[in-house]
């Protein structure tokens, strides 16, 4: 519990800092709370920046207002919440005896701010790449309001015809749409890794994202680095890997962010292996009077620690920290699975938990399951395709999900995240999952039920969508179950081995003519090939089927 004379000082006036302050004020009406921030713009919705750039949000002030239209200024926090927010003050040093923070204002004046409890909500900064020419005025990051507003103004003035986006993570992919969809700007996406969103997605899902970007006109360059930038008046000449040159009007760096932890490090606080301020489940640092929350904090994780720079997590951490400071019982930061979603043009991409690649990096033996469905009854006019992958520890608990499609993929990823947490990843929970059903909203059997059934039978008959694209073996026999009208608009990949075109009825009639080994079936979405695979196995044929069908393989 807090005693008389206590004073809480918070450094950082964005999601984590102001959530902590607001929650503390509700719990402790008379507690002195001061929030410092170096910027004049506070409590802005940075996650909305790409949508302001794209024109979906017309006025930047929409990102600095409450849901009921009030401007979130220092005066607003003073009048409505009795919280003192001081802008233009840069915290430069933490002193621990006595407890105070030395801060400097824009005029260079320094003053101490005493505290009994300190909350570091200093956020994160974009990773800086040491690239010659990156200090050119036509090169920027995408994390500060002034950067976003300047880019939007350049677009409105028709000064940008081609832009290079550096980094294929969440923000980089959102920017591809922001530049191209409304403004018609040509986009060059440069990603040094082998695929986009490699931290969240496995190769077969990343490939679907990359194919969609290319279909929208984005020039996607994977395993490519930016080596040099030459500034020529209002044009930039980029030198990429292998010496290739590209001419663009702007460069936007989105290679990710790093925690702003220098202030904490200088004060002797423990810094985690990933560079954030290391905290326990209540947000306490190695000094029990100092807390950290939001993007600067390195959180406890089952495999050590992790950074999760998301506004949703920052807000939740703010509540946890406030509760602990006020002495309110709180279980602390829950297990976090990195649940997230990104909009890539009209494609929705979401994930939670571990990908198969990350699970294997942790030394886990995994099983992978794929499927393709619609987000509501297939006969309903607004039905949209969704593709889902589930990762499970072999014969064990669920580990993660990835979902992609024009349908509402978020609801499956959110539900799966709850199963990971509340059911501790028990695969049996998939079949127990109860969903609201009516044709305009859902299918009678949910995709989670289908995954549960796959795991319950334990058949292991699926092959990965990428196996067909890999060509296979000359001795394999592929059975094409596509109807003529399904096959006609498709450009099927060339595969090694024999390809037999059959209907399900013909397959049953000719079962005795088929080889006993290496038979692979595919249809549009998977169900027909699954049924035929079961039938062939009942007749002693070692058959497997293409998970998710051609829809998963070809996008």
DSSP 287-321: STTEEE-GGGEEEEETTEEE----HHHHHHHHHHH
Token readout for 170 is: 């969440």
One of 3.40.250.10, 3.40.50.620, 3.40.50.740, 1.20.210.10 is the CATH number of 462-554, namely 3.40.250.10
User: CATH 3.40.250.10 residue ranges in the chain?
Assistant: 462-554
Q: Please list the residues that pair with 345 across neighbouring strands.
A: none
Q: How far apart are CA 515 and CA 541, in angstroms?
A: 7
Enter the DSSP assignment of 129: P
**8-45+61-124+258-326, CATH topology level:** FAD/NAD(P)-binding domain (3.50.50)
Q: How far apart are CA 86 and CA 40, in angstroms?
A: 9
Q: How far apart are CA 217 and CA 314, in angstroms?
A: 35
Q: What is the pLDDT of residue 3?
A: 59
User: CATH 3.50.50.60 residue ranges in the chain?
Assistant: 8-45+61-124+258-326, 139-255, 340-456
Enter the DSSP assignment of 127: P
Q: What is the pLDDT of residue 4?
A: 64
Closest alpha carbon to 209 in 351, 316, 320: 351
In the chain, the largest separation of any two C-alpha atoms, in whole Å, equals 89
Q: How far apart are CA 479 and CA 404, in angstroms?
A: 27
Q: Give the pTM.
A: 0.93
Token readout for 55 is: 């024109």
Burial 415-438 (b: 16+ CB within 10 A, else e): bbbebbbebebebebbeebebeee
Q: What is the pLDDT of residue 436?
A: 97
Token readout for 320 is: 């946890």
- What is 340-456's CATH superfamily? FAD/NAD(P)-binding domain (3.50.50.60)
Token readout for 513 is: 């003519």
Cα angle 430-433-436, degrees, rounded to a multiple of 5 = 140
Q: Does domain 139-255 have CATH number 3.40.50.2000?
A: no
Query: Tens of pLDDT along the chain (555 residues)?
Result: 455 689 999 999 999 999 999 999 999 999 999 999 999 999 999 999 999 999 999 999 999 999 999 999 999 999 999 999 999 999 999 998 899 999 999 999 999 999 999 999 999 999 988 999 999 999 999 999 999 999 999 999 999 999 999 999 999 999 999 999 989 999 999 999 999 999 999 999 999 999 999 999 999 999 999 999 999 888 999 999 989 999 999 999 999 999 999 999 999 999 999 999 999 999 999 999 999 999 999 999 877 899 999 999 999 999 999 999 999 999 999 889 999 999 999 999 999 999 999 999 999 999 999 999 999 999 999 999 999 999 999 999 999 999 999 999 999 999 999 999 999 999 999 999 999 999 999 999 999 999 999 999 877 899 998 888 776 677 899 999 999 999 888 888 888 889 999 999 999 999 999 999 999 999 999 999 999 999 999 999 999 999 999 988 887
Q: What is the pLDDT of residue 471?
A: 67
């Amino acid at each position: 519990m807090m005693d008389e004379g206590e004073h809480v000082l918070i450094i950082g006036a964005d999601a984590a800092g102001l959530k902590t302050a607001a929650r503390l004020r509700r719990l402790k009406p008379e507690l002195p709370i001061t929030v410092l921030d170096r910027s004049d713009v506070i409590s802005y919705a940075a996650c909305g920046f790409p949508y302001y750039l794209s024109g979906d949000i017309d006025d930047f002030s929409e990102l600095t207002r409450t849901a009921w239209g009030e401007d979130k200024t220092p005066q607003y926090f003073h009048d409505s919440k009795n919280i003192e927010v001081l802008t233009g003050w840069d915290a430069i040093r933490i002193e621990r005896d006595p407890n105070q923070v030395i801060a400097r204002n824009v005029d260079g004046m320094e003053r101490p701010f005493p505290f009994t409890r300190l909350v570091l909500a200093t956020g994160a900064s974009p990773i800086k790449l040491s690239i010659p020419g990156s200090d050119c005025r036509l090169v920027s990051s995408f994390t500060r309001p002034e950067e976003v507003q300047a880019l939007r103004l350049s677009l409105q003035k028709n000064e940008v015809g081609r832009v290079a986006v550096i980094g294929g993570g969440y923000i980089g992919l959102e920017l591809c749409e922001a530049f191209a969809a409304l403004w018609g700007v040509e986009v060059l996406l440069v990603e040094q890794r082998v695929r986009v969103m490699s931290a969240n997605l496995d190769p077969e899902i990343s490939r679907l994202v990359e194919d969609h970007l290319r279909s929208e006109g984005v020039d996607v360059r994977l395993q490519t680095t930016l080596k040099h930038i030459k500034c020529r008046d209002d044009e930039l000449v980029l030198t990429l890997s292998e010496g290739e040159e590209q001419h663009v009007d702007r460069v936007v760096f989105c290679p990710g962010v790093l925690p702003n932890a220098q202030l904490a490090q200088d004060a002797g606080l423990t810094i985690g292996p990933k560079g954030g301020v290391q905290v326990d489940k209540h947000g306490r640092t190695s000094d029990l009077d100092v807390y950290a929350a939001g993007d600067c904090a390195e959180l406890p994780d089952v495999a050590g620690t992790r950074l999760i720079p998301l506004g949703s997590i920052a807000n939740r951490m703010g509540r946890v920290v406030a509760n602990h400071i006020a002495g309110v019982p709180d279980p602390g930061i829950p297990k976090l699975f990195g649940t997230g979603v990104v909009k890539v043009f009209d494609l929705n991409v979401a994930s939670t938990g571990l990908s198969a690649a990350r699970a294997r990096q942790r030394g886990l033996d995994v099983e992978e399951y794929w499927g393709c469905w619609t987000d509501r009854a297939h006969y309903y006019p607004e039905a949209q395709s969704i593709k889902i992958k589930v990762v499970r520890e072999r014969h064990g608990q669920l580990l993660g999900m990835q979902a992609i499609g024009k349908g509402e993929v978020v609801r499956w990823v959110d539900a799966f995240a709850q199963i990971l947490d509340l059911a501790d990843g028990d695969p049996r929970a998939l079949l127990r999952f109860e969903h609201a059903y009516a044709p305009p909203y859902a299918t009678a059997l949910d995709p989670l039920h289908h995954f549960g059934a796959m795991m319950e039978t334990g058949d292991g008959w699926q092959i990965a969508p990428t196996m067909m694209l890999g060509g296979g073996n000359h001795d394999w026999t592929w059975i094409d179950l596509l109807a003529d009208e399904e096959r006609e608009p498709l450009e099927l990949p060339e595969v090694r081995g024999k390809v037999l075109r059959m209907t399900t009825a013909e397959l049953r009639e000719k079962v005795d003519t088929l080889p006993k080994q290496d038979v692979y079936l595919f249809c549009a979405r998977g169900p027909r090939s699954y049924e035929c695979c079961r039938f062939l196995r009942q007749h002693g044929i070692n058959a497997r089927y293409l998970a998710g069908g051609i829809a998963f393989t070809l996008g």
